[in-house]
Structure 1
């Protein structure tokens, strides 16, 4: 398999100003709802918070 077969490709869409990418290798093209606990990778995204998340949610930019 060459390197071009493993990469996303840009496809032109007739009548559109924007192009679209083909799905990345190893991914599914359709979105997965956040509530879907059976989805691959869903267990990693549930209740993940970093050490600064609480402070970042409280902070307000000075122009507000």
Structure 2
């Protein structure tokens, strides 16, 4: 399949001997968008009725 300059595509770029990554897709930015920490991980508002029990529970295989 020949490359078409009118239809750019992502390319696979070798990063190491066993790793590879994709280039940014056409029409997007390669860098991630920076957001405030408050919007990413909201703070807990309160305790639910079974939160304490869920923290104490241990899976049966332990």
Q: TM-score range by the shorter chain?
A: 0.3 to 0.5
**TM-score, normalised by the number of residues in structure 2:** 0.42
Bigger helix share: 1
Higher Rg of the two aligned structures: 2
